[in-house]
Amino acid sequence: MSPSLQNKRALVTGGSRGIGAGIVKRLAREGADVALTYVSKPEQANETANAAQAFGVKALAIQADSGDAKAVLVAVERTVSELGGIDILVNSAGVLAMAPIDDFRLEDFDRTVAVNLRAVFIATQAAVKHMKSGGRIINIGSCNAERMPFAGGAVYAMSKAALVGLVKGLARDLGPRGITINNVQPGPTDTDMNPANGPFADALRTFMAVPHYGSTDDVAAMVAYLAGPEAGFVTGASLTIDGGFNA
């Protein structure tokens, strides 16, 4: 069988490491040419791009801070120019700032909204100008959009909950054009930002029905499904993959 995403072109923001890197490699394995953005550590971004190229596809790394609106627009246009178009946009870039309400800094609030929410809108608005029927937009949200069981996470939860409303509304805008848009909402996932052996891991496991962390491959598999031809009737949805964290 041919790979399910053969001849497709994808952009994954925040794709150099963690969940984003897992998505880049899975989309490449399914046959898609992939661009990824990163903020720093070009060697790590190039390593991910090289891993994608090993599947026989085109891959490129683009330095772009998702908190910078112009950089996001440039990343979309470079993807279109260098890959010949864009069929799949995965908004994976994200930041996490936590503090009690009395101590939460306004600059952290503004950056959280800029990266986790504004960048998603900007990239989507730019990408759909180039997308044809069959286009796919997938946002990496969080199970915390629905459940924040500890103090200090209000602003992060707010930024991810806002994606739920954005996706529901944009599904109406984009459906007549044959473009779907959905959220994937991971729970605790083993990455360098939230390792399965980290200081919060044991506490997080107590909230889960399946008492172990997910892997980046778990999340990437759901993204690959939503990006593929079998998910054409799924739009406006927020799909949780969290080991029962929200159960």
The answer to the question of residue 204 being in a domain is yes
The answer to the question of residue 246 being in a domain is no
The answer to the question of residue 75 being in a domain is yes
Number of domains in the chain: 1
User: Between residues 59 and 198, which one has the greater pLDDT?
Assistant: 59
CB contact at 8 A, 212 and 204: no
pLDDT per residue as tens digits for the range 131-149: 999 999 999 999 999 999 9
pTM of the model: 0.97
Does residue 10 have a pLDDT over 70?
A: yes
The answer to the question of residue 120 being in a domain is yes
CB contact at 8 A, 208 and 242: yes
The answer to the question of residue 247 being in a domain is no
91/96 Cα distance (integer angstroms): 15
Active-site residue set: 156
78/123 Cα distance (integer angstroms): 12
The CATH number for 223's domain is 3.40.50.720
Average pLDDT, the chain: 96
Q: Find the mean pLDDT for residues 50-68.
A: 98
By residue range, what is the domain housing residue 204? 9-241
Q: Find the mean pLDDT for residues 51-68.
A: 98
